[in-house]
Structure 1
């Protein structure tokens, strides 16, 4: 059985005590920025068509090409086509072919032969204020063109007025992305439709996904990423413990609509090997989905040629070599402290 022991650190208990001086003194300090929702995981692949077919076959989900944004253009110019977006329950999954990610005539990501997760980010209200707070705390910020951001105004997207910036991996562990929420419904992101709620489990879903349980980021310096996700973005530590399936010691953080598992891997595990391949930076390792019926999930995965690498009574982890380079997890367990309905 999966062992996920739970302990709220003493400091966290003090922050949640309604009578504590810390709570009273901090209650009046309301940040001028807010992470509203996780934007998307970024996943690099050598072939977008193969990735789309895999998501359709294994997850039962169709993907939305980035080029849809230029569908109604009248100038005859071709829009960007370097990624596709796959809605999976409450996650918008972004798959990128680095060979096509060309901005101002330069390919910005190295091409890959083996797919792997790259990074993640958030929609943020108050981008200018967040930019100022990151600078104040010594967390460097860079533009879409990987240029160091100076001055009082945040960087903008290349060729567009929209604020868009990223953290330096040396300061935050990963190149985390920040952008403002869309001003209206986005054709790429169904979650931006007014009144959107997480869809219920569908009989047509071959995996019976309830929601995304958590995202796993491997690290040997949890305090580095906590400075960003907890101290700056206002996430809450909901527990600490072990994930015996993956072989990691974890801290779980609730931030906006998602839970993030910051995990220190044991030596000799697949997680440790993945972490070592990206060192000294952190590694965005996996997504784990909560499902209604684990046996149904296993039967479907095996029928699609996706091998099971690790298992317990309530959790399975797949072999990334058979799953677009990602050791996806599927579980019927609920993380301690996760109060999302």
Structure 2
């Protein structure tokens, strides 16, 4: 399966778009120490990480920026970006607040026709900001150097979502024309087949659906209970991924996580489909990763022992998921 197989339609209802989401760009995860995170991914996921500085090079003296602020970790069909906010400095300003505990923060997409998407978002009342958090007002999108790059505002979209054009990116193997989903390796300690879905917690699913479905062209594929986290959920297929928009029950760990950033949404978790759930659980426990939940078809890790993320490992994809693995 190529990165663009199963891409979302450019039509949503009666609306035709001049843009197309091709795939998720990457999740963003904020941590206290990049070295600790790299070692954790190598030990627990069996994956190596590479610093963005290998692409950007050393920041010139007096540039007011650092180029060693993040590392990228390919995990099956997900490119995972880990950021140390204290290193993310542009214009001599730390652009993200420091964190006391690691946490998923947001994600974004590669988009064909990204300038057209920018104009449609603004026409629909979504405020757009640059990477310097400057509100965009013109007809052309903000850029990072020559490349269009911009974000939604969480108050409008639920989260700070990022948009970039499909670009050659040395740290993303999925952008290569001949890329296919890798088969499960015999020495993969978790036996990951693919990403099942990403979970966004919200008490306003209609806000996220307006972006995911009406603007980006995603399709609702399933609605129902998520008893693993205790939530009522809507699942959207968009390009190469599925997104769970979950409204958590009060008193659950998911509700506590959402409440910490309410009334905005919360990027809560990532679920991976694995070949053998028992095998995955044995490895996690052997590496000192606590298990918060274990059911017949899911394992969820304790965030305290897994970089602040309740990683979920499952035996099946979401009902209605059109992807074939």
The alignment's TM-score, normalised by the length of structure 2, stands at 0.93
Q: State how far apart, in whole Å, the 2-side matches of 1:282 and 1:72 are.
A: 35
User: 1:68 corresponds to which residue?
Assistant: 54
Q: Which of the residues 225, 228, 233 maps onto 2:208?
A: 225
Count of paired positions: 314
- Contact 1:68 1:187 (C-alpha < 8 Å) held by counterparts: no
User: 2:143 corresponds to which residue?
Assistant: 156
Deviations 1:259-296 (A, max 9, x none): 00000000110000000001010000000000000000
Shift of 1:73: 9.9
Shift of 1:311: 1.8
Change (3 A) 1:174 1:73: closer
Q: State how far apart, in whole Å, the 2-side matches of 1:277 and 1:283 are.
A: 8
Q: State how far apart, in whole Å, the 2-side matches of 1:172 and 1:290 are.
A: 28
> What is the correspondence of 1:23-42 to structure 2 with a 5 Å cutoff?
26=14, 30-42=16-28
Segments of 5+ residues of structure 2 without an aligned counterpart are 1-8
Say which SS state the counterpart of residue 111 (structure 2) adopts: strand
Shift of 1:31: 1.4
Q: State how far apart, in whole Å, the 1-side matches of 2:318 and 2:166 are.
A: 28
RMSD over aligned Cα, in angstroms? 2.1
Q: State how far apart, in whole Å, the 1-side matches of 2:111 and 2:123 are.
A: 18
User: 1:7 corresponds to which residue?
Assistant: none
Shift of 1:165: 0.5
Q: State how far apart, in whole Å, the 2-side matches of 1:74 and 1:194 are.
A: 33
Deviations 1:218-238 (A, max 9, x none): 000000010000000000000
Shift of 1:113: 2.1
Say which SS state the counterpart of residue 284 (structure 1) adopts: strand
Deviations 1:59-103 (A, max 9, x none): 00000110111459999x997110000000000000000000000
- Contact 2:47 2:73 (C-alpha < 8 Å) held by counterparts: yes
Change (3 A) 1:132 1:323: same
Shift of 1:144: 0.7
Say which SS state the counterpart of residue 278 (structure 1) adopts: coil
Q: State how far apart, in whole Å, the 2-side matches of 1:252 and 1:301 are.
A: 27
Q: State how far apart, in whole Å, the 2-side matches of 1:181 and 1:165 are.
A: 14
Q: Does 1:103 align with 2:90?
A: yes
Q: Which has the larger radius of gyration?
A: 1
Say which SS state the counterpart of residue 275 (structure 1) adopts: helix
Query: Which ranges of 4 or more aligned residues in structure 1 deviate by more than 4 Å?
Result: 71-75
Shift of 1:339: 1.9
> What is the correspondence of 1:71-220 to structure 2 with a 5 Å cutoff?
71=57, 80-157=67-144, 160-182=145-167, 184=168, 186-220=169-203
Segments of 5+ residues of structure 1 without an aligned counterpart are 1-15, 17-21
Q: State how far apart, in whole Å, the 2-side matches of 1:256 and 1:330 are.
A: 21
User: 1:3 corresponds to which residue?
Assistant: none
Higher helix content, 1 or 2: 1
- Contact 2:66 2:87 (C-alpha < 8 Å) held by counterparts: no
- Contact 1:69 1:79 (C-alpha < 8 Å) held by counterparts: no
Say which SS state the counterpart of residue 246 (structure 2) adopts: strand
Deviations 1:101-122 (A, max 9, x none): 0001100011112100000000
Q: State how far apart, in whole Å, the 1-side matches of 2:67 and 2:138 are.
A: 30
User: 1:311 corresponds to which residue?
Assistant: 294
